[in-house]
Amino acid sequence: MKRVAMKIAYLGSGFSGSQAQPGLRTVESQVLEDIGKVLKTDDPGLSFSSRTDKGVNALGNAIAFYSSMDDLLVLAKALNSVSDGVFYRSFCEIDDEFNIRYASRRIYRYVLDGEGIDIDKASECCRLFEGEHDFFRFCRYDGKPTTLRIDSISCIPSGDCVVLEFNARYYLWNMIRRISSAVEAVGKGKRSLDDVQAALNGKDISFGVGRPDALTLQDVQYDMLSFTEADPKAIQARRKEHVMDESLRLEFYKALRCISNKYAPPNPEPWAY
Protein backbone atom coordinates (compact mmCIF):
# COMPACT_ATOMS: atom_id res chain seq x y z
CA MET A 1 0.00 0.00 0.00
CA LYS A 2 1.52 3.30 -1.13
CA ARG A 3 0.78 6.77 0.16
CA VAL A 4 0.45 9.19 -2.72
CA ALA A 5 0.46 12.96 -3.12
CA MET A 6 -1.29 14.39 -6.17
CA LYS A 7 -1.79 17.88 -7.59
CA ILE A 8 -5.36 18.41 -8.75
CA ALA A 9 -7.19 21.11 -10.71
CA TYR A 10 -10.87 22.03 -10.80
CA LEU A 11 -13.21 24.85 -11.80
CA GLY A 12 -14.89 26.11 -8.65
CA SER A 13 -18.29 26.77 -10.26
CA GLY A 14 -18.92 23.04 -10.38
CA PHE A 15 -18.54 22.46 -6.63
CA SER A 16 -19.79 23.72 -3.27
CA GLY A 17 -16.21 24.18 -2.06
CA SER A 18 -13.45 21.65 -1.54
CA GLN A 19 -14.40 20.05 1.79
CA ALA A 20 -17.13 17.45 2.28
CA GLN A 21 -20.60 18.78 3.13
CA PRO A 22 -23.67 16.56 3.58
CA GLY A 23 -25.90 16.53 0.51
CA LEU A 24 -23.63 18.80 -1.57
CA ARG A 25 -21.25 18.10 -4.41
CA THR A 26 -17.76 19.10 -3.33
CA VAL A 27 -14.26 18.47 -4.62
CA GLU A 28 -13.69 16.02 -1.78
CA SER A 29 -16.81 14.02 -2.59
CA GLN A 30 -15.80 13.87 -6.27
CA VAL A 31 -12.25 12.76 -5.46
CA LEU A 32 -13.56 10.06 -3.11
CA GLU A 33 -15.92 8.87 -5.83
CA ASP A 34 -13.07 8.74 -8.36
CA ILE A 35 -10.74 6.86 -6.00
CA GLY A 36 -13.56 4.49 -5.09
CA LYS A 37 -14.12 3.59 -8.75
CA VAL A 38 -10.43 3.01 -9.47
CA LEU A 39 -9.16 1.50 -6.21
CA LYS A 40 -12.42 -0.02 -4.93
CA THR A 41 -12.14 1.54 -1.49
CA ASP A 42 -14.41 3.80 0.57
CA ASP A 43 -11.68 5.05 2.92
CA PRO A 44 -8.37 5.91 1.21
CA GLY A 45 -7.28 8.22 4.06
CA LEU A 46 -7.81 11.30 1.91
CA SER A 47 -6.50 14.68 3.08
CA PHE A 48 -6.24 18.09 1.38
CA SER A 49 -3.46 20.65 1.51
CA SER A 50 -5.71 23.68 1.12
CA ARG A 51 -9.36 24.46 1.61
CA THR A 52 -11.12 26.41 -1.15
CA ASP A 53 -14.55 28.02 -0.78
CA LYS A 54 -17.51 27.61 -3.10
CA GLY A 55 -16.69 29.07 -6.51
CA VAL A 56 -12.91 29.25 -5.98
CA ASN A 57 -10.80 27.54 -8.66
CA ALA A 58 -7.62 25.50 -8.34
CA LEU A 59 -4.88 24.58 -10.79
CA GLY A 60 -2.60 22.94 -8.24
CA ASN A 61 -4.25 22.01 -4.96
CA ALA A 62 -2.62 18.99 -3.33
CA ILE A 63 -4.17 15.84 -1.87
CA ALA A 64 -2.77 12.75 -0.17
CA PHE A 65 -4.24 9.23 0.03
CA TYR A 66 -3.34 5.54 0.12
CA SER A 67 -3.22 3.48 -3.06
CA SER A 68 -3.13 -0.25 -3.64
CA MET A 69 -1.96 0.44 -7.20
CA ASP A 70 1.84 0.54 -7.54
CA ASP A 71 2.11 2.27 -10.91
CA LEU A 72 1.22 5.89 -10.14
CA LEU A 73 1.26 6.94 -13.80
CA VAL A 74 -1.45 4.37 -14.49
CA LEU A 75 -3.30 5.45 -11.35
CA ALA A 76 -3.39 9.10 -12.46
CA LYS A 77 -4.53 8.07 -15.94
CA ALA A 78 -7.32 5.95 -14.49
CA LEU A 79 -8.51 8.74 -12.19
CA ASN A 80 -8.57 11.21 -15.09
CA SER A 81 -10.60 8.75 -17.15
CA VAL A 82 -13.42 8.45 -14.59
CA SER A 83 -13.56 11.91 -13.02
CA ASP A 84 -16.23 14.51 -13.64
CA GLY A 85 -14.69 17.91 -12.98
CA VAL A 86 -11.36 17.09 -11.27
CA PHE A 87 -8.08 16.86 -13.20
CA TYR A 88 -5.23 14.83 -11.70
CA ARG A 89 -2.14 16.67 -12.95
CA SER A 90 0.93 15.23 -11.18
CA PHE A 91 1.95 12.79 -8.46
CA CYS A 92 4.68 11.50 -6.16
CA GLU A 93 5.05 8.90 -3.42
CA ILE A 94 5.22 10.14 0.18
CA ASP A 95 5.80 8.46 3.52
CA ASP A 96 3.16 7.88 6.21
CA GLU A 97 4.43 10.71 8.40
CA PHE A 98 4.24 13.41 5.71
CA ASN A 99 1.58 16.07 6.41
CA ILE A 100 0.21 17.41 3.13
CA ARG A 101 -0.90 20.62 4.87
CA TYR A 102 2.69 21.67 5.64
CA ALA A 103 3.47 23.32 2.30
CA SER A 104 6.54 25.47 1.65
CA ARG A 105 4.40 28.07 -0.15
CA ARG A 106 1.01 28.59 -1.73
CA ILE A 107 0.53 30.74 -4.82
CA TYR A 108 -2.85 32.32 -5.56
CA ARG A 109 -4.06 34.60 -8.34
CA TYR A 110 -6.95 37.04 -8.12
CA VAL A 111 -8.31 38.72 -11.26
CA LEU A 112 -9.74 42.25 -11.06
CA ASP A 113 -11.68 44.15 -13.70
CA GLY A 114 -9.02 46.61 -14.84
CA GLU A 115 -11.40 49.38 -15.87
CA GLY A 116 -10.65 52.54 -13.86
CA ILE A 117 -7.77 51.05 -11.87
CA ASP A 118 -4.65 53.17 -11.40
CA ILE A 119 -2.00 50.46 -11.62
CA ASP A 120 0.58 52.50 -9.69
CA LYS A 121 -1.77 53.05 -6.75
CA ALA A 122 -2.85 49.40 -6.81
CA SER A 123 0.79 48.29 -6.80
CA GLU A 124 1.61 50.59 -3.90
CA CYS A 125 -1.35 49.19 -2.00
CA CYS A 126 -0.08 45.64 -2.59
CA ARG A 127 3.26 46.57 -1.04
CA LEU A 128 1.51 47.61 2.17
CA PHE A 129 0.41 44.00 2.71
CA GLU A 130 3.82 42.42 2.13
CA GLY A 131 5.77 41.24 5.16
CA GLU A 132 4.38 40.29 8.57
CA HIS A 133 1.13 41.93 9.72
CA ASP A 134 -1.93 41.27 11.83
CA PHE A 135 -4.59 40.57 9.18
CA PHE A 136 -7.53 40.50 11.58
CA ARG A 137 -9.36 43.18 9.52
CA PHE A 138 -8.66 41.26 6.32
CA CYS A 139 -10.07 37.82 7.11
CA ARG A 140 -13.12 35.95 8.29
CA TYR A 141 -12.04 35.21 11.83
CA ASP A 142 -12.29 31.54 12.81
CA GLY A 143 -10.18 31.47 15.98
CA LYS A 144 -6.78 31.01 14.33
CA PRO A 145 -3.90 33.45 14.97
CA THR A 146 -4.22 36.35 12.54
CA THR A 147 -0.58 37.46 12.39
CA LEU A 148 1.31 35.98 9.45
CA ARG A 149 3.68 36.86 6.63
CA ILE A 150 2.97 37.49 2.95
CA ASP A 151 6.19 37.10 0.97
CA SER A 152 5.02 39.03 -2.08
CA ILE A 153 2.00 40.37 -3.99
CA SER A 154 2.52 41.17 -7.67
CA CYS A 155 0.18 43.54 -9.51
CA ILE A 156 0.18 42.67 -13.23
CA PRO A 157 -1.84 44.38 -16.01
CA SER A 158 -3.30 41.71 -18.32
CA GLY A 159 -5.50 42.95 -21.15
CA ASP A 160 -8.66 44.42 -19.65
CA CYS A 161 -7.83 42.93 -16.26
CA VAL A 162 -5.38 43.34 -13.42
CA VAL A 163 -3.96 40.13 -11.94
CA LEU A 164 -2.80 39.98 -8.33
CA GLU A 165 -0.41 37.13 -7.55
CA PHE A 166 0.03 36.19 -3.88
CA ASN A 167 2.95 34.20 -2.50
CA ALA A 168 2.93 33.01 1.13
CA ARG A 169 3.17 29.84 3.16
CA TYR A 170 -0.48 30.01 4.25
CA TYR A 171 -3.45 32.38 4.42
CA LEU A 172 -6.49 33.07 6.56
CA TRP A 173 -10.11 32.44 5.60
CA ASN A 174 -11.30 34.99 2.97
CA MET A 175 -7.98 36.82 3.33
CA ILE A 176 -7.04 37.09 -0.35
CA ARG A 177 -10.53 38.13 -1.42
CA ARG A 178 -10.61 40.89 1.22
CA ILE A 179 -7.12 42.15 0.36
CA SER A 180 -7.99 42.11 -3.35
CA SER A 181 -11.13 44.12 -2.66
CA ALA A 182 -9.02 46.69 -0.80
CA VAL A 183 -6.49 46.89 -3.64
CA GLU A 184 -9.31 47.44 -6.13
CA ALA A 185 -10.87 50.17 -3.95
CA VAL A 186 -7.54 52.02 -3.68
CA GLY A 187 -6.79 51.57 -7.38
CA LYS A 188 -10.17 53.09 -8.30
CA GLY A 189 -9.82 55.97 -5.84
CA LYS A 190 -12.65 54.83 -3.58
CA ARG A 191 -10.28 54.28 -0.63
CA SER A 192 -6.88 55.64 0.31
CA LEU A 193 -3.59 54.01 1.20
CA ASP A 194 -3.99 55.58 4.65
CA ASP A 195 -7.27 53.66 5.06
CA VAL A 196 -5.51 50.38 4.34
CA GLN A 197 -2.65 51.16 6.69
CA ALA A 198 -5.12 52.13 9.43
CA ALA A 199 -6.91 48.78 9.03
CA LEU A 200 -3.60 46.93 9.25
CA ASN A 201 -2.93 48.89 12.43
CA GLY A 202 -6.20 47.66 13.93
CA LYS A 203 -8.80 50.27 12.95
CA ASP A 204 -12.24 48.78 12.27
CA ILE A 205 -12.48 49.36 8.50
CA SER A 206 -14.07 46.95 6.01
CA PHE A 207 -13.20 46.90 2.31
CA GLY A 208 -15.66 44.16 1.40
CA VAL A 209 -15.04 40.66 0.03
CA GLY A 210 -14.20 40.00 -3.62
CA ARG A 211 -16.11 37.48 -5.73
CA PRO A 212 -14.92 33.88 -5.27
CA ASP A 213 -14.73 32.85 -8.93
CA ALA A 214 -11.98 35.44 -9.57
CA LEU A 215 -9.68 33.52 -7.20
CA THR A 216 -7.50 30.59 -8.29
CA LEU A 217 -5.13 28.49 -6.21
CA GLN A 218 -2.30 28.30 -8.74
CA ASP A 219 0.00 25.91 -6.91
CA VAL A 220 0.92 24.36 -3.58
CA GLN A 221 4.67 23.82 -3.45
CA TYR A 222 6.86 21.56 -1.32
CA ASP A 223 10.63 22.00 -1.30
CA MET A 224 11.13 18.36 -0.29
CA LEU A 225 8.90 16.75 -2.95
CA SER A 226 9.37 16.19 -6.68
CA PHE A 227 6.16 15.64 -8.63
CA THR A 228 5.89 13.71 -11.91
CA GLU A 229 3.49 14.99 -14.57
CA ALA A 230 0.51 12.80 -15.40
CA ASP A 231 -0.07 11.54 -18.95
CA PRO A 232 -1.16 14.72 -20.81
CA LYS A 233 -3.35 12.78 -23.22
CA ALA A 234 -5.68 11.78 -20.39
CA ILE A 235 -6.18 15.45 -19.51
CA GLN A 236 -6.17 17.03 -22.97
CA ALA A 237 -9.18 15.11 -24.27
CA ARG A 238 -11.32 16.31 -21.35
CA ARG A 239 -9.82 19.81 -21.53
CA LYS A 240 -10.75 20.08 -25.23
CA GLU A 241 -14.36 19.19 -24.44
CA HIS A 242 -14.58 21.83 -21.68
CA VAL A 243 -12.97 24.48 -23.91
CA MET A 244 -15.63 23.77 -26.55
CA ASP A 245 -18.37 24.17 -23.93
CA GLU A 246 -16.97 27.54 -22.86
CA SER A 247 -16.56 28.68 -26.47
CA LEU A 248 -20.22 27.96 -27.15
CA ARG A 249 -21.24 29.97 -24.08
CA LEU A 250 -19.04 32.89 -25.15
CA GLU A 251 -20.53 32.88 -28.65
CA PHE A 252 -24.02 32.96 -27.11
CA TYR A 253 -23.22 36.06 -25.04
CA LYS A 254 -21.54 37.76 -28.00
CA ALA A 255 -24.64 37.11 -30.10
CA LEU A 256 -26.89 38.36 -27.31
CA ARG A 257 -25.00 41.66 -27.23
CA CYS A 258 -25.26 42.03 -31.01
CA ILE A 259 -28.98 41.31 -30.97
CA SER A 260 -29.49 43.90 -28.21
CA ASN A 261 -27.60 46.54 -30.22
CA LYS A 262 -29.43 45.69 -33.44
CA TYR A 263 -32.92 46.06 -32.03
CA ALA A 264 -32.32 48.84 -29.51
CA PRO A 265 -34.59 51.87 -30.15
CA PRO A 266 -32.73 54.96 -31.42
CA ASN A 267 -33.78 57.10 -28.44
CA PRO A 268 -34.59 54.71 -25.59
CA GLU A 269 -36.56 55.89 -22.61
CA PRO A 270 -34.41 56.30 -19.44
CA TRP A 271 -36.10 53.28 -17.88
CA ALA A 272 -35.60 51.01 -20.89
CA TYR A 273 -32.61 49.14 -19.43
Q: Which residues are annotated as catalytic?
A: 53
Please report the pLDDT score of residue 258 as a whole number. 74
- Between vectors from CA 115 to CA 113 and to CA 119, what angle results, nearest 5°? 90
Please report the pLDDT score of residue 271 as a whole number. 45
Mean pLDDT for the chain overall: 94
Contact criterion met (CB below 8 Å) for 134 and 200 = yes
Q: How far is CA 258 from CA 112, 139, 146, 253, 264, in A?
A: 25, 41, 49, 9, 10
Please report the pLDDT score of residue 211 as a whole number. 97
Please report the pLDDT score of residue 272 as a whole number. 44
Please report the pLDDT score of residue 273 as a whole number. 38
Flag residues of the chain having pLDDT under 50.
270-273
Please report the pLDDT score of residue 263 as a whole number. 57
Please report the pLDDT score of residue 267 as a whole number. 60
| 0.85 exceeded by pTM | yes
Please report the pLDDT score of residue 257 as a whole number. 78
Which pairing describes strands 215-221 and 161-168: parallel, antiparallel, or unpaired?
unpaired
